[in-house]
Amino acid sequence: MNKCDQCIVRQLSSLKALNKEEIIKLANSKTTYKVKKGEALFEEGEVTNGVFCVKDGVGKLSKLSANGKDQIVKLVKSGELLGQRSMISNEPANLTAKAIADMEVCFIPKTEIINFFNSNNQFSLNMMQSVCEDLKESENEKIALVQKTVKQRLAETLLHLHDEFGEDTDKTLKVQLTREELAGIIGTATESCIRLLSDFNKSNLIELVGKKIKLKDVRALKKLADN
C-alpha cells in the first residue's frame, strides 16, 4: 500500500471519501515538500492550480493591509486542506498562506481533484461541507469583530487556540504565535494585544511563561468571551 492511505490528511479531510483506486491515483499525482516557518506556500494573487494537504505543521492564511498590518483569516493545521477556495472558484489566491511552524505538505494538482469531483459524489459533498464550515466560521468571526470588544475577542481566541491545538506538557498553548500574530487574529494593534495579555496575567486568567501562554482559568475566560 502507498503512503497516502495512512496519511492524516486522508483520514481527516474531504479525501476520506476516496476509495483505494482513487488513493493510488492521488499518490501518483501528488508532490511532497517542506515549508519552513515564515516561508510562503502561496501569495495573494498567485494562481495555485491545486490543493495543498497539510501533513504536518501549522499555517496561516492572511492579508496584508496598506499600513503593513497582517490580518490573519484562518489557521490551518495538520489534516486539513489548503487552497480549495481559489481552486474551485478558478481564481488567483485571495490570501497569502505562510507557515507558522515548519510544515510538510503535499500538492495535488487541480486536474486530479476535478476527476475526483466527477467520479465521487461523496468527495464533492465533503468538500462542499468543508467550505460551508469555513463560511460559517468566517461569518461568525465577522459578527464577533463587530459585536465584541478586543478583550472578549482575545479571550475567545485563546480558548479557540486551546481547543484546536491543545497544550504542551507544561500546559502552555501548543501553537507558538507571536504577539503580533495573535493581534492579527483578533484584529487589533500589537500593543493592545500585549497590554491585554498583561491584564489577563495580572487577573490570573492566564500565565505568561516567557513568550508562551498558559490558560489558568478557562471558565472565567469563557464567561468573559461570550458576554
Partner DNA sequence: AATAGAACATGACAATTATCATCTTAATAA
Partner DNA sequence: TTATTAAGATGATAATTGTCATGTTCTATT
Q: How many CB atoms lie within 10 A of CB 62?
A: 22
Q: If phi over 0 gives left and psi between -120 and 50 gives alpha, with beta otherwise, what is residue 93? A: beta
Interacting positions 116-155 with a second copy (CB under 8 A): 117-118, 121, 124-125, 127-129, 131-136, 138-143, 145-147
Which of 73/208 has CB closer to a second copy? 73
Q: Are strands 31-35 and 212-215 parallel, antiparallel or unpaired?
A: unpaired
Which residue pairs, CB below 8 angstroms and at least 24 apart, start in 130-136? Answer: 130/13, 130/14, 130/81, 130/84, 131/84, 131/85, 131/88, 134/74, 134/85
Q: Is 192 in the site for DNA (CB under 7 A)?
A: yes
> 32 vs 118, which CB is nearer to a second copy?
118
Pattern of binders to DNA over 55-94, x per CB under 7 A?
Answer: ------------x---------------------------
How far apart CA 53 and CA 32 sit, in angstroms, is 9
SS3 at position 44:
coil
Number of amino acids touching DNA (CB under 7 A)? 19
Is 149 a residue that touches DNA (CB under 7 A)? yes
- Dihedral sign (CA 208, 201, 139, 69): negative
Smallest gap from residue 111 Cβ to DNA (A): 38
Shortest Cβ distance from residue 69 to a second copy (Å)? 7
**Which of DNA, a second copy, none does 133 bind, CB closer than 5 to 8 A by kind?**
a second copy
Given the rule CB under 7 A, which of 13-21, 22-30, 127-135, 183-191 is the region that contacts DNA?
183-191
Q: Is 63 in the site for a second copy (CB under 8 A)?
A: yes
- Restricting to residues 188-217, which ones interact with a second copy according to CB under 8 A? 188
- Pick from 106, 70, 77: which is nearest to 193 by CA? 70
Which residue, 37 or 136, is less far from a second copy as judged by CB?
A: 136
- Hey, is 38 helix, strand or coil? coil
Residue numbers of the site for DNA (CB under 7 A)? 67, 149-151, 178-180, 187-189, 191-192, 194-195, 197-198, 208, 210-211
